[in-house]
Structure 1
Amino acid sequence: MSLHQWISDTVRHGRFEHSRLSRVGSAGRSLIISYIMLNIAEPLLGIFSHAYLWQRSNGLSLIVVYDSSSFLGLVAGFYVGAFLVGRYNVEFVYISGCSSMGFSILALTLIGDTNIVVLAILGMCFGLSSTLFWASRRFLVISHVAPTHRFYFTHCEGIVGVVLAVIVPPVIGWCVVVSRAFFPLYTVYVVIGLLAFTVLGAAGYSVRRLRTPIQPIVSLRIRTPSARWWSCRWVSLWMGVSMGITLFVPVVLTLTLVGNEGALGTIQAGIAVVSAAVLYWIGRQVKKDIRKHVFSISAILSVSAALVLLLDYDICGAIGYLGLSGLAFACTLATYNHIQYENIEFEEGRSGMHRYAYLLDQEIFLVIGRFSGLAPICIAYALGGLGGMLRTAAIVCAAASVALWSTYRRLSAPQQSLKMSSRN
């Protein structure tokens, strides 16, 4: 291919993507800008906050306490969010979630206390503020992005996320490694907390001009869930298992078998490069049945990742596991978000209930899944130590991915084949 042809193809693809992005609308573009800010802060919220807790205790106890309390805070946050959404604009709830999420991470680094009670409170606050952010964000996406453009929108988010994941984790990771040669661990992570607080504030500020009508919430209980929504619940449960494991296991595995925060960020960047290419290809597919194939591919990747770690529990096996499982989770998450948006909108039209009730119901089953995945890992850690815990986590994550694919096969069946009768 000549240079001229390469430039022409690049310009043509650029115009094509620009035209598709323009169809998302100004509100959709504002949400994408906010998502960019979130993805700059996300490694600070997840990867490096867990690395900080691991460095403080050199064990799993602080991470389990923090994550368990944050899972409970996620559910509590939905009820707080329901109170706010019914009385204030969703944009206010979104901005509040961004600000409080950044403040909770800053407090975690500032307090520097490994007291279990204090850590549990901080985890609860982070979970609650995360829910205010994510619930209002999903609400805004459903309200401002047309269904015909939502599949492209969610995968555009995914591409933005993985591209930033190429840049942010290694930069932050190696800055931490270099800075620790001159400053105490506490000082380094306080700076990270300040950075997270600032960037999340910018994420909230970017949606200030959106206007979503206030919709009073009459009830949050889904009294007559359809058979289709029960399938959505199972999808959320299995997704929650994967989320709970992916939240901290890659961090522990990297710091245990591979190296320091710099290696952690570099590996995450490598995974993001491959994920970006795959997500871009998925986003260009217009056929909805591509999602079924994405889940099946993710299941194969997750099983392969578990086998690699079980057969080769050392640096090479750890890197192989991180690459395969990271790619599987990135693909699954992007597809999961779209199908849940679609089904929430469908159920809202069918039942006439407020969409926030379905968002809450979805989050409850995600939390059940997170705890379900955390339980066997804790048992394995108590019985078999760190090695047993990491191997068990790989097996559980692979099983959840296979179950997710199996459940989605039923959910993606033709509409008329799903009984719309309710279950008690």
Structure 2
Amino acid sequence: MSKSILGEYGFFRSQPLNIRTLLVTNMLYAFILPIIEIFVGAYIMRNTGSPAYVAIYQLCMYFGVLVTSVLNGLMLKRFKASLLYVFGILLSATALMAMMFVNSIGIVELGLSGFVLGASTGFFWTNRYLLTLNSTNDENRNYFFGLESFFFSLWSITVPLIVGAFLVSVDGFVFLGRVLDVNNGYQFITAFSLLVAMAAGFVLSKGHFDNPVQKRFFYTRFHVLWQKLLTLAGLKGMVQGFLVTAPAILVMRLVGNEGSLGLIQGVGGLLTAILVYTLGRIAKPKHRMAIFGLGLFVFFLGTLFNAVLFSAVGVIVFVLCKVLFQPLHDLAYFPTMMKTIDAVKAIENRNEYAYILSHEIGLFIGRAFGMGLFISLAYWISEDFALKYALVIVGGIQLLSLPLAKNIIHDIDTKYKELT
């Protein structure tokens, strides 16, 4: 066992410096991600009791990501991508902490908090794509995203369990003569997140990264290959919002408190972490579509269980399916996206950030549709109807991603093989 672990560590050490630096940085940021993705939704549910408020917050957050993506393109003309990456990590932790100290939560406060947090994470995600694209190639991207997903899955086990247990234990605890509540627990957690973000920024400073050579990054017309990828991004974005909001809403509504949320989120994480690392280590580019299809099917199956049962058992099955789906999907999706960028960049001779920005626009359109669908169903029919069937609708539509992704890969490998 120890030899195997040492062997994997040796393989990691054999990777180029920039890949190692990005992986360690992302490992640290992945510690914060479950807090942003899971417990913010639970925090809003606890203080408003409205699933629609969670969806509105999420939509404002995604709009913030989009705005920052444009701003980031302008700032790349003056600042290094790695510096903007660190700025995004620190800003996201700061914005998260500020949100937890807001005394009241209304539509305005929610919208502003969501926008600011989205803007901060936008710096992280767009520069993460850019640095990863320029530091990896098609042969080592399975390993990169497999190891990254391993840490994301690992933290998705430990962080929810630790945070959930902490929030339950802190409620009613007397500290320096003051009786603490769950909201005070959230404040402690976000302050700790800021320290982790600072550590991630320090690690990233050890890498040597280059900015795009070309400065223009905004285009409205693209090669048909990239248009197909943008459709794929829209399908991904449509479900992405639900991956963040649905578990928190469903658990708080049907299961219990944040402790239950952390326990359920962590149950399926260990097997998923081992699975995605193993797949990333041994899978070849030709295996990506099989991994992609498996993830899509698992998620759709989870939405059916939730809709049919709509109970604590249904929620548990859905969250377990979601925990398995997300890393499997990302393990296949991101290398496919970057392989497509490699091809269309060679065809059109454009700044790679142009494709990253347009990809964020595609994601936002999908996210807006998904969140809009949920809010509309909740408003016009009922919140329970939306919680049951919005997931089934988007999960079913997302199954179209598989034939589309296969078509993209087929075109690259046949028509544009010499470019990748």
Give TM class, smaller chain.
over 0.9
* Shift in Å, 1:249: 0.3
Corresponding position: 1:331 with 2:322? no
- The within-5 A match list for 1:82-93 is 82-93=73-84
SS at match of 1:181: coil
**Which of 135, 160, 182 is the aligned partner of 1:144?**
135
Distance 1:252 1:26, change over 3 A: same
Runs of 5+ unmatched residues, structure 2? 174-179
In structure 2, the partner of 1:164 is: 155
**Which of 262, 270, 275 is the aligned partner of 2:267?**
270
SS at match of 2:140: helix
Matches of 1:348 and 1:415, distance apart in 2: 12
Deviations 1:89-128 (A, max 9, x none): 1111011111111111111011233132232122111111
Aligned identity (percent) is 19
Corresponding position: 1:40 with 2:27? no
* Shift in Å, 1:146: 4.1
* Shift in Å, 1:231: 1.4
Distance 1:408 1:21, change over 3 A: same
- The within-5 A match list for 1:228-377 is 228-377=225-374
Matches of 1:116 and 1:162, distance apart in 2: 32
Q: Is the 8 A contact 2:81 2:209 kept in 1?
A: yes
Corresponding position: 1:399 with 2:396? yes
Matches of 1:240 and 1:375, distance apart in 2: 12
In structure 2, the partner of 1:173 is: 164
Matches of 2:147 and 2:291, distance apart in 1: 16
Distance 1:227 1:416, change over 3 A: farther
In structure 1, the partner of 2:100 is: 109
Matched residue count? 411
Corresponding position: 1:99 with 2:90? yes
Higher mean alpha-carbon deviation, 57-66 vs 368-377, is at 57-66
* Shift in Å, 1:351: 1.5
SS at match of 2:285: coil
In structure 1, the partner of 2:376 is: 379
Deviations 1:315-368 (A, max 9, x none): 111111211232122211222112112222222222111111100000000000
- The within-5 A match list for 1:149-228 is 149-182=140-173, 183-215=180-212, 217-228=214-225
Paired residue type of 1:112: N
In structure 1, the partner of 2:55 is: 64
Q: Is the 8 A contact 1:173 1:265 kept in 2?
A: yes
* Shift in Å, 1:416: 6.3
Deviations 1:44-94 (A, max 9, x none): 112111111110001124312321111111111011111211111111101
Q: Is the 8 A contact 2:82 2:209 kept in 1?
A: yes
Q: CA RMSD in A?
A: 1.9
Matches of 2:82 and 2:322, distance apart in 1: 34
Matches of 1:350 and 1:15, distance apart in 2: 42
Distance 1:415 1:143, change over 3 A: closer
Runs of 5+ unmatched residues, structure 1? 1-9
